[in-house]
Structure 1
Amino acid sequence: MDGNAGLPEALRQRVLAIRSNPSAARAGRRLVQENLYQFRGFPPVTLDLFRDWTADPLGHRSWQWQIASFNFMPWLIAYDAASADVRAMAHALEAVRSWSARFADGDDGFEFAWHDHATAMRALNALWLLCHLRLDARMPEAQAMLEAFLARHADRLAEEGMYTRHTNHGIDQSRVLGLLGLALAGRPGAGRWLETAMARLAGELEFAFGADGVHVENSPAYHQFVGNLFDEIASAFTPEQLGPLGPALERTLPRALEYMAWIVRPDGLLPAIGDTEQRPAGNVFRRLAGTPAHRRLDWVTSGGREGERPEGWLRAFEDGGYLVARSDWSAGEPPASAFHLVLRSGFRSRYHRHDDDLSLCLYWGGDWLLDSGMFNYVEHEPVRRYLRSKWAHNVPVPEGFDPDWKRPASDAEGGLKLLESGEAHALAEAWSASWPGFRARRRLRLDLAQRRFEVEDSLEPEGETGVESAKGFLSLWHVPADKEIVIGEGQARLLDLAAGRELRIEVLDGACEGIRLLDPGLPGQAGAVASRETNQLEPAQLLAFRFPGPALRARLGLRLIDHRGAERLDPEELGRQLFRSYCRNPDAWWPEDVRKAPERVTAARDLHLRRRDGDPARLAEELHALAVLRQRSRRPTVYLTGTGGAVASWLEGLLTRAAGMVGASWIGVPGPLVRKALTLPARDRAILLDAVHLLYAGSEGQDPLRANVVRVEPLVREDLSLGIEPQAVLALICGDPVEHCLRQLPRSEMGSAEVPEPLTARLESVALRTERILRWALRQRFALRFTPAQVLRDPAAAVAAICKIAGAPLDTDRLRRVVAQRAAHAPGLPPVSTDALPEALLDGLRARFAPYASLWTQD
């Protein structure tokens, strides 16, 4: 058999791409060897699928859809191509046979057996398998079985009752039906399948995109997804096969591409509007490569590294229901310089629709006003229903209404219109009938030069329902957890202290009775939540402005303030707010790849909270106030530094128990907090650092106003500890660095004269870190020096020496008891044997550390 017989070029290229996918091959190997299925957004599941296709181990219908769609099939194709493991094809073919036997006579009550979308995707994945075998002219009997399987699916997809018209499901059904018509051209009915597919796709395209090119399914992600589908359709079929669909695609896709260039944020991510994950956008319109619109989208998705810079700052897609303002397209500045504001309003389709008419979302170097996202497709779940409701969007709502989302409201008419537009000013109006019993309008006035927005809202009762139910109104604003919110008289200040930025929301008109943070009361959730990724929730903050009365007429002013410029916070206020933000949400200040430090900070903070039965904001105020008072009378901070980390930590425990010091552990200060704190005057910087130490300790010590802080840190530098106070006590704990390095290596690997390459690399890493510490230590003036062995031999003497210099009171009887109690917890210093190590390696280490020999004594 000709390996390319009946195999259109588009299918051949797709299968070649699957074959060369290494991550798919790894997933295929795990599936073959361990029966392990791991779809994106779900935990791994080990399952004998062929015993029960209806299994639901995660209690999640989207996971069942993945299985019923055969979305594991590309894994097996890639693994088969990358290996000689015959089990890959055996598993793939058994999946087809097993499924066919299980559902030979119908769906048997299983939702996804002949589900509209799962059926299309199952056929597509089985088609990739057939093409994989055809490319190499392999397994003709298996090919015949697959062709029969696919023909059955094509007949089902061609049925009018199976077709889900005017949805992305219908597009996929029609696309796959057309591909089956091409690939199975010799079978009866193939011509009819292709003809039916093209006719349906023409209708789908006409419905899918409005006059301004925006996809109707209420989601930037689905706009990108459906745009990609039609781009693939344009490439997969010849002009003769496409017929009238071809010219229609040429008219529609450029408009769809233009919307993408505006809706993508300056950081290259899609905004989480409707059923959208906040993921990187891509330029999926490959057929339009080389056109100006394609180059503009390239610019946006590449961060200005490729393509052509777009122009303008405002675009209204009135038919699609989006207004987008972007302050800057420059690639010469960081993306954080641009804000990206989206106003959303308008009903075009039920699919992926959230009740988000009139909602605003704002990006400015990061999220400021959130759309709460999608979470999942399990519609009966309370969190999913909440996230689709008005109560999860930045809109006004009547007080007392149930936030449980109701589908009828989502069908209500709505829209927006750009009323005025200039070089730096604009006025838009949005309206919606989706508030039962109310007429809803929102006017948005934008001032680009001043970075100000005015939001004027009105909810007018309409009929008895609105008049009877309205007791007052809440203007809701969803804020990321990493923003500090300071509520004042008639205003709320949203602060990003790490970036030095503020969004200030002020009441300009309307009788606002109060501003507060709300808890929507979701089952199993503490406070508001948002979802930027499928099946993932994260904390958020829900800010509410309350307006009394039977109707809402309110005007709020929103202003973006960059405190790196002229408008700066008072230093003491900035220091207090920095600490408050860090105390409330340590994770927001640490890099994502650093886990232990923020976990320890959170654990220490929670220890404080258990003693106080308070909240993080109040704790931050108390600790910062205590740090202010301590500046007058506290004793010096003690730093235990050098290469004796474990010994230093043990010594810290003795100092806290015997001398009443406050143990701040080894946790450093995150870089963003350091950079902000270094802009403070010395006094405010010292207060902030002392407050951080008190937080790390989990307590304030026996003498809160005077107690020394003791902290373990290999390096005490300005960029790590915000500057050493002049009276600080530095104690160096440092022994022979060669022995120190060798103790860091696995002892089981040190018995061979041939040092394995991974061990050599690890030794080099340890040596570099040690040399860095020693180089720093050589420039310092230490009040005390110990070797680890000296501390372990006579810990009481080390404690007494430190307390004497630090001015800390010491009860010698208590010290003896503490030393006796803690002796069992002392770290060991196992002897290091160098007999089996190459002499050249040892000589190299000794020569490397020779310049620092004055830092330690020989025991």
Structure 2
Amino acid sequence: MMFSPSRLSTLQRMVHEQLSTASTPAARSRAQRFLDEEVIASPGFGDCPFDAGSVWEGTDSRARDRYHHGFLFFGDWVKTILADDTTQVRAARAAVGIVETWTKLHGDQAHASDMAYHDETTAQRLLSLIAIRPAIAAVLPREDAEVLAPLMSSTAALLARQEFHAGSNNHGMFQDLALLYWSIVADNPHSNHAEYYSLAMSRLRRYFEASFTADGVHVENAPTYHLMVSRQAKNVMDLAVAAEHTDSAFYSNLIRRAERYATHALMPNGTYPPISDTQQNEIAKSGARGVFPGPEFLYATTQGLRGKPPQEKTLVLPDSGYAIYRSAWGDPDATYAFFSAAYNADYHKHSDDLSFFLHSGGIDLLSESGPYSYDYKDPFSKYAYSQFAHNSLVVDGTSLPRTDGRADRVSLRAVEERADGFTVVGTNGRYDDVVHERTVEVREANGKPLFDLTDEIISTSQHSYQLLWNLGTEVSVVLHGQGFELFRDGLKVMDLMVDADVPVTLALREGVEKPRPLGWRFPKFGQAVPAKVVTVSFNGQNTRVRTKIRLSDFSYTERLSPADPAWSRHSGEVPVNYLFRPGASARGREHLAVVFSAIHQPGDFTYNYKATVDEVDISALYILDDFGDQGAYYHSDHRSETIYRSVQALILGIANKHGIEASKLVAVGSSKGGTAALIHGMTLPFGRIIVGAPQTRIGTFVAGPHPNILQFMAGGTSEQDIEHLNGIVQRAALTAGSIPRTSILVGANDHHLRGHVEPLLDDMASKGLPRPAVTVLPDLSHADIGSVFRFFLAANLEQFVSGKGEEALPYIISPGKSPGSVRLKVYAPAGTRLAYRLYLDAEVVAKRGYADRQVVVFEDLAPGRYRIRVYLQAPDGTEPTAFTTRWVGLRKV
């Protein structure tokens, strides 16, 4: 005998306390279903008819077959129908019948189904029988001796065989736990007691020594498996202490080290992140507190209600490959980040190397799919294991395998650890021709976390790359050219902006099933929920991508809302955000103004002149230049013209969709918007261009105040890069089939006149191209252009829609201050003489002769509709021109 009777009794009691059984009403109901209907019910697999043992025929679900062949459903029986005097005998006979049927069908291993003798399933079967046997033996001792005991004894003998042992993994651990428990609870006398006990304890010691890193983290890559294995280590420790085994101290030290990671890995909501095979269950309800007795783990599991908080908010474990940050302990809305550069074992490993997970405000922001099932053939399972389900790098459209024996090529290096964050570098060299290094810097500013990631990709050849950002299911997204914003219930919660040294394309996917799954979340085993994923795609050899993630002090000014149905997204070579508004009348809907925006502050992308254009009866297309961090002139990303082509495809698509002829398209904008209007207006078959103070030498202009735009558009800031951008407008003019009638407004005090407009005129004249009509206004600087251009734009749009095609000056017409008066102010070039004719409907009712006046007031007018014909006499003596204002109404006083 190994132990004294009293010690053996104590150990046997501890074994049965450690076995997993349920006593909830739901467990009772599931167990009762078998007595009433011979149905094996489970929360994970639904109802499965026993059907004389056909339930054990192989299915397409390894997890379900494991559940049935391992008799795991007996966990519902022990404390429910087997503990109830009214059902005890029936339940015991039913249980014996199940075991007897299984033994007849699968007792011969050579002819059993695949999962019947799966390594870990065999162990679970013995554990289930150990748990249920006392209740059966109490009422059916003969059946126990004839049916249960022989199967348990033969199963133990099988588990003891070295060739059947699964090895140094958690499957082998369960085999040895079952063997250990059997050595303690088996009937006396039993000749193998001491042998099984010694074998199990020595195997378990070797396993636990090898299965935790030097940081105290279990190697099977998932926090829940760390917790599960730690629980089993604690069980063995308790038995070792009770048995006064020499391994007691080893297990005590192991649990102490494992507790630190288990505490920090917990998210603020009391669950573990869906890393690798982790299923997100509330840890406080799982009995985990009995595994780790420390006050810090208690604080984490109770979300600050009990225990005490850890002193550190960060945990960096280079040997294990994890770096964890949280903004605060005990706050369920705290920010939590988990970076994984871990390949510690093949078991439960996903292709999640260098994946970054972010949770804040009680929801996942940057998430992962979580596991779907253990059936490696299922498309969803393959997806869950693949890189596409994680926030990392995919090369040439093919995921790395789940495992490949290249664990030594994945590592984490700590650069700096601080009280408010860390800087770490993860390396993934598992690719054949690529090394991916991801630097993650976490720091706080004014108590708010900031996240900056740098992806260095090194290769000897060209590849196509994708960085993926899987989003939480509770957020909506607004996508931009180089980033995106996340919203929850209309409130912005995060944005992400990318800065790459190559052209990139962002796309949004959700719930894709073919040709392969993309954009899915698996909250529970077998449950699939569509989830958004943003792909950042680019080509190159050695490339660098910087990613800025902000939860406050955002990179993007909030302009667009995902709840706003007015905004649309064109899926071209690169997606383009736009707003389309149809004209009010049939004539208005026949014409389209394409409006390009000027430069705003970094991250602030919006439209210009919407109020002005909306006052004119014309369809309008407002296009966002939300590329880079401050726009790209609707043209270039590191010299790639995908933006330019995508914008043109959008314009043509809208025009074709609404049946608008090319001659009735007008390109408009000022400053950068004017430049874009020239570029696209000249190269597409537009009928008209109306611009204010454009930059025709883009490189020279942005080199000083906006080197970020120069860098983004040209890929550098050298003189060659400046000259490349300087030639964009000129190249557009030279390649145009024909130049539409173009009107340019610029101020005499604006450096754009001599630096940009006059050089354009000279270039066009030298090439024999039509000269644009240029209106130069005195005392007008570039800062003032918008305030006057809106009048210039409205006036010339009205001319364009009316079909008269006259060149209009900017003007303001309105009822005068005194009753019965009309006031007109015209912004005219210096030296221009103006004459006026006032019309009441079609009748001329007043005139003013040529003079240098730019403001005229007509008084003592009857109620009605008035407009003014304006005549312009230039100082150079050229033929006078004219244009007509819009109508203005006077009411009866």
With the shorter chain as reference, the TM-score category is: 0.5 to 0.7
**Structure 1 residue 96 corresponds to structure 2 residue 89:** no
User: The residue matched to 2:107 in structure 1 has which SS?
Assistant: coil
| 8 Å Cα contact 1:497-1:577 kept in structure 2 | no
Offset of residue 320 of structure 1: 1.5
| 8 Å Cα contact 1:231-1:285 kept in structure 2 | no
**Structure 1 residue 445 corresponds to structure 2 residue 441:** yes
Alignment of 1:194-205 (within 5 A): 194-205=197-208
Counterpart for residue 380 of structure 1? 377
Counterpart for residue 298 of structure 1? 298
- Distance of 1:618 and 1:460 partners within structure 2: 30
Q: Gaps (5+ residues) in structure 2?
A: 569-574, 585-893
Distance 1:99 1:489, change over 3 A: closer
| 8 Å Cα contact 2:33-2:41 kept in structure 1 | no
| 8 Å Cα contact 2:373-2:381 kept in structure 1 | yes
| 8 Å Cα contact 1:26-1:79 kept in structure 2 | no
Equivalent residue in structure 2 for 1:403, among 399, 405, 421: 399
User: The residue matched to 1:32 in structure 2 has which SS?
Assistant: helix
- Distance of 2:565 and 2:358 partners within structure 1: 24
Offset of residue 406 of structure 1: 5.3
Counterpart for residue 177 of structure 2? 175
Counterpart for residue 461 of structure 1? 459
Offset of residue 578 of structure 1: 3.4
Q: Deviation string for 1:364-420 (max 9, x for gaps)?
A: 12001112211000112222112211222111222x332373532764521112211
Counterpart for residue 269 of structure 1? 271
| 8 Å Cα contact 1:228-1:284 kept in structure 2 | no
Q: Gaps (5+ residues) in structure 1?
A: 585-616, 630-859
Counterpart for residue 318 of structure 1? 318
Counterpart for residue 62 of structure 1? 63
The letter of the residue matching 2:61 is H
Offset of residue 214 of structure 1: 0.7
Counterpart for residue 595 of structure 2? none
Offset of residue 483 of structure 1: 2.1
- Distance of 1:288 and 1:6 partners within structure 2: 20
Alignment of 1:388-787 (within 5 A): 388-398=385-395, 400-403=396-399, 405=401, 407-408=403-404, 411=407, 413-449=409-445, 450-462=448-460, 467=461, 470-498=462-490, 500-518=491-509, 522-523=513-514, 527-561=518-552, 569=558, 573=560, 576-579=561-564
Q: Deviation string for 1:735-794 (max 9, x for gaps)?
A: xxxxxxxxxxxxxxxxxxxxxxxxxxxxxxxxxxxxxxxxxxxxxxxxxxxxxxxxxxxx
- Distance of 2:380 and 2:406 partners within structure 1: 17
Identity %: 21
- Distance of 1:550 and 1:236 partners within structure 2: 57
Counterpart for residue 343 of structure 1? 339
Offset of residue 501 of structure 1: 3.1
Q: Deviation string for 1:829-858 (max 9, x for gaps)?
A: xxxxxxxxxxxxxxxxxxxxxxxxxxxxxx
- Distance of 2:556 and 2:318 partners within structure 1: 36
Q: Deviation string for 1:441-492 (max 9, x for gaps)?
A: 1111112224221111112115xxxx2xx33322211112432222224322
Counterpart for residue 14 of structure 2? 10
TM-score by length of 2: 0.59
| 8 Å Cα contact 2:511-2:520 kept in structure 1 | no
Alignment of 1:34-73 (within 5 A): 34-48=37-51, 50-52=52-54, 54-56=56-58, 59-73=60-74
Offset of residue 64 of structure 1: 0.9
Moved more, 421-430 or 244-253: 421-430
Q: Deviation string for 1:322-350 (max 9, x for gaps)?
A: 1001011144xxx22x1100110122110
| 8 Å Cα contact 1:80-1:88 kept in structure 2 | yes
| 8 Å Cα contact 2:299-2:330 kept in structure 1 | no
**Structure 1 residue 130 corresponds to structure 2 residue 145:** no
User: The residue matched to 1:13 in structure 2 has which SS?
Assistant: helix
Q: Deviation string for 1:647-677 (max 9, x for gaps)?
A: xxxxxxxxxxxxxxxxxxxxxxxxxxxxxxx
Distance 1:20 1:532, change over 3 A: closer
**Larger strand percent:** 2
Q: Output the aligned Cα RMSD.
A: 3.4
How many residue pairs get matched? 570
- Distance of 1:508 and 1:21 partners within structure 2: 54
Offset of residue 527 of structure 1: 4.9
Offset of residue 89 of structure 1: 0.9
User: The residue matched to 1:81 in structure 2 has which SS?
Assistant: coil
**Structure 1 residue 355 corresponds to structure 2 residue 355:** no
Counterpart for residue 283 of structure 2? 281
Counterpart for residue 664 of structure 1? none
Moved more, 522-531 or 79-88: 522-531
| 8 Å Cα contact 1:120-1:157 kept in structure 2 | yes
Distance 1:62 1:240, change over 3 A: same
Distance 1:413 1:213, change over 3 A: same
- Distance of 1:496 and 1:371 partners within structure 2: 18
Equivalent residue in structure 2 for 1:222, among 221, 225, 245: 225
- Distance of 1:507 and 1:567 partners within structure 2: 12
| 8 Å Cα contact 1:479-1:541 kept in structure 2 | yes
Distance 1:103 1:118, change over 3 A: same
| 8 Å Cα contact 1:130-1:143 kept in structure 2 | no
Offset of residue 618 of structure 1: 12
Offset of residue 517 of structure 1: 1.7
Offset of residue 129 of structure 1: 1.7
Alignment of 1:130-279 (within 5 A): 130-133=133-136, 136=138, 139-143=141-145, 145-184=147-186, 185-240=188-243, 243-279=245-281
| 8 Å Cα contact 1:579-1:620 kept in structure 2 | no
**Structure 1 residue 371 corresponds to structure 2 residue 374:** no
The letter of the residue matching 1:493 is E
The letter of the residue matching 2:337 is L
- Distance of 1:149 and 1:237 partners within structure 2: 27
User: The residue matched to 2:163 in structure 1 has which SS?
Assistant: coil
| 8 Å Cα contact 2:350-2:402 kept in structure 1 | no
User: The residue matched to 2:82 in structure 1 has which SS?
Assistant: helix
Offset of residue 147 of structure 1: 2.2
The letter of the residue matching 2:435 is R
The letter of the residue matching 2:312 is G
Counterpart for residue 724 of structure 1? none
Counterpart for residue 763 of structure 2? none
Distance 1:79 1:619, change over 3 A: farther
User: The residue matched to 1:472 in structure 2 has which SS?
Assistant: strand
| 8 Å Cα contact 2:321-2:340 kept in structure 1 | yes
Counterpart for residue 74 of structure 1? 75
| 8 Å Cα contact 1:358-1:432 kept in structure 2 | yes
| 8 Å Cα contact 1:257-1:285 kept in structure 2 | no
Offset of residue 25 of structure 1: 1.9
| 8 Å Cα contact 2:358-2:366 kept in structure 1 | yes
Structure with higher Rg: it is: 2
TM-score by length of 1: 0.62
| 8 Å Cα contact 1:320-1:346 kept in structure 2 | yes
- Distance of 1:245 and 1:525 partners within structure 2: 49
Offset of residue 75 of structure 1: 2.5
| 8 Å Cα contact 1:19-1:82 kept in structure 2 | no
Distance 1:12 1:429, change over 3 A: closer
| 8 Å Cα contact 2:289-2:297 kept in structure 1 | no
Distance 1:577 1:112, change over 3 A: closer
Moved more, 317-326 or 420-429: 420-429
| 8 Å Cα contact 1:107-1:113 kept in structure 2 | no
